[in-house]
Amino acid sequence: MIRRYRIRDSLGVHARPAAKLVKALASIPGSVVIEYDGRRVNAKSILEVMSLGIRGGESFALECEADQIDALDRVDVELLDILSSE
């Protein structure tokens, strides 16, 4: 299952939103991957998420297994809030 998100914060994914993103995704069992600019990293690792340098206005994909879709649905609203504020 892949979902795309656009960063509306002009500062991009810096330390604070990265930490909130990782914390929100921690509730999803199994692995979750972020793909951005041709790179794929563990979405539950703040260092790996920050290493992507996702800029404001850019989009990225979150990928998880099909059986994790309900868990992703539960955190989706929280993710949208994290990625559009700060």
Provide the annotated active-site residues.
Answer: 14
Give kind and range of the element (H or E) at residue 80.
Answer: helix 69-84
Give kind and range of the element (H or E) at residue 35.
Answer: strand 32-36
